[in-house]
Each structure stands twice: as C-alpha cells, then as structure tokens.
Amino acid sequence: MKKTEVTDFQKKVYRFTKRIPMGRVTTYALLAGAIGCGSCRAVGQALKRNPFAPRVPCHRVISSDLTVGGFEGSSKGLSISRKKVLLRREGVYFRAGRLADSDRIYRF
DNA sequence: GAGTCATTCGTTG
DNA sequence: CAACGAATGACTC
C-alpha cells in the first residue's frame, strides 16, 4: 500500500477548495488559474483522488460552464445528483444541471 | 513509461 | 446551433 502522499499541487488545490465559503462555488479553471496551472484536469484529478474526502468540499467545485461537471469519478449518475443536492443544501441552487446564479461563483 | 481524468477551447457540420 | 477532436498537467499502476 502506498502512503497518502500529498503533492504540493494537491496541497494547493485542497487549500483553495477549503477556502471556498459556504453557499459559494468555484470552477476548475478558476482553481487551476489561482494555483498557477494551465490545465483544469489536474485539479479535477486531485479532487477525485481527494485524500481529504469530507475535509475538502469537492462538491463546491463545478465546471467553468456553470455545469456540475462531475463528482466521485462520474460526470453523470447518482454521484452528480448528490452533488447538486449537497450544493442546494448550502444555498446554491441548480437549474437544469446548471448553476442557477453565476454570482454564486467564488472569486479568489 | 504509458494510460487515464470530475476540463476547456477551437473548428467543423 | 450542435458535436467532435485536440491540447494540457498531474496522478496512478
């Protein structure tokens, strides 16, 4: 078994993700840009492997198109549904699979 | 070392 | 307007 080694990149991702206040969301591209990385996929990967599962609110990270994007390794299915419900409980409402208010996006 | 990924952008039909 | 492919950076096996 491998040790849960968190790379510097992941550390940044989790740090920024945890920085998101309740009732607010952010996008992969925004996170990637804030970290200093040109690819948003790397951010999603870090969240998917999320070693800090309940500690890091990965459900507060959505796609830059205001879409839910993915969750728990699936861009659709029950996982995504759960993500939407989770955000809804925090005050973030979704409409047709998209964020109802783009003003809810948290800017670093 | 190769494959995979929860994305994003650009071009083509 | 809609769909597909290519690009990019990092992680896991």
Delimit the domains of chain A by residue range: 8-102
Taking only the tens place, the pLDDT of each residue in A62-95 is 999 999 999 988 888 888 899 999 999 999 999 8
Rounded CA–C1' distance between A64 and B11, in angstroms:
20
CA quadruple A17, A37, A77, A4: dihedral positive or negative? negative
Contact present, A108 and A43 (Cβ < 8 Å): no
Q: Does CATH number 1.10.10.10 belong to domain A8-102? A: yes
Active site residue A58: yes
CA quadruple A19, A14, A71, A27: dihedral positive or negative? positive
The residue that minimises its CA distance to C1' of C12 is A49
Task: Please report where in the chains the tokens 């970290």 appear, as a residue.
Answer: A35
Model's pTM, two decimal places?
0.92
Q: What is the pLDDT of residue A72?
A: 87
DSSP 8-state class, residue A99: E
Q: What is the pLDDT of residue A4?
A: 60
Rounded CA–C1' distance between A28 and B5, in angstroms:
13
Q: Residue A91 — left, alpha, or beta (φ > 0 → left; ψ -120 to 50 → alpha)?
A: left
